[in-house]
Amino acid sequence: MTVTSRAANSTIPPVAVKTRMSKDINYYPSAMVVYVQVSHGFSPVLGASVTAVISPENGDPISLELLDNGNDGIYSKYLFSFPGSGRYSLKAHVQANRTIVPQTAKLWSHAMYIPGYVENGKLKMNPSRSPAIKSDIQVRRGGFHRTAVGESFIISAVPMGPHADVFPPSASYEIRISESPLELRGSFYKTGLVNTSTLSPQHAGCKEIFAFKPEAFTTGNITIIYVAMCAVDDVFLHSELSNIAQAVKFVPPMVYPTANMEFQQYCY
């Protein structure tokens, strides 16, 4: 029996699914990352339900619900637990009641917007970033279901029996600040420590907001502070360092009213 599939509409590109692992050969205890890219032509598909099924040569398959935290149509998750050494296979199931894609083929940029910068001791502002309304950049189509088979990969040096915790983290956050980005990158644990005792980490994929005052610095006008963080678990394993964020304290000059201004306001 020969089965041939065709697009329902030749003018509309079909939904495509691509799968891959971060490595073809891996050694315990290094973790793996599962990636599944869901696209509609050149545009990402958002809001789909993506499940990766990873099957070892011997043992039960591992099922992972993948997340699209970047809203770019790439769904991913770390794989830490391995039943044993050997070859593993990857299969992805993608399902959506409705397809959500941007109206244009241009991918939406999630790069951080920098409102301004300091040059020769003076603050210069960048042009305002135009607001993006999701309802304006997305269109909705019918649902779909796809199954894609990825290439196999090999895991070696997995110990027998219960595995000790060797994977970071995250049970708590360690946030540090400095006036030098190079110091944060090269000597993170020697920089200023932020009190995070009131911060309780949420589940993966949750948005978190934490406010603090940089007490260790003399925060005069146009003071630049750099912030970075890592996560720490119960056995004090640390994650890799995050990206380094920049904050600028800028106090605009006060405009004091003159006598003429006061008189004009009074007469009005």
Q: What is the pLDDT of residues 234-259, one digit of tens each?
A: 777 777 888 888 888 776 666 655 55
What pLDDT is recorded for position 19? 94
Q: What is the mean pLDDT of the chain?
A: 77
**Among candidates 125, 142, 133, which has minimal Cα distance to 45?**
142
Q: Please say if the pLDDT value at position 121 is more than 90.
A: no
Average pLDDT over residues 110-133: 64
Q: Please say if the pLDDT value at position 87 is more than 90.
A: yes
Same domain, 149 and 178: no
Instruction: Describe the chain by its helix, strand, coil percentages, rounded to 5.
Output: 10, 40, 50
Same domain, 70 and 132: yes
Query: Which two tokens mark 98?
Result: 């409705």
Assign 151 to helix, strand or coil. coil
**Among candidates 226, 262, 265, 230, which has minimal Cα distance to 247?**
226
Query: Which two tokens mark 210?
Result: 């934490």
End-to-end Cα distance, the chain: 89
Confidence of residue 163 (pLDDT cuts 50, 70, 90): low
What pLDDT is recorded for position 89? 94
What pLDDT is recorded for position 94? 94
Confidence of residue 25 (pLDDT cuts 50, 70, 90): very high
Give me the domain span that covers residue 218. Answer: 172-249
Q: What is the reported pTM? A: 0.54
Same domain, 140 and 181: no
3-state secondary structure 10-66: CCCCCEEEEEEECCCEEECCCCEEEEEEEEECCEECECCEEEEEEEECCCCCEEEEC
Same domain, 97 and 21: yes
Same domain, 195 and 90: no
Count of structural domains within the chain: 2
Q: Of 108-112, 135-139, 198-202, where does mean pLDDT reach its minimum?
A: 135-139
What pLDDT is recorded for position 54? 93
Contact assessment for residue 169 and residue 237, using Cβ atoms and an 8 Å cutoff:
yes
Q: b/e per residue, 21-60, with b = 16+ CB within 10 A?
A: beeeebebeebbebbbbbbbeebbbbbbebbbebbbeeee
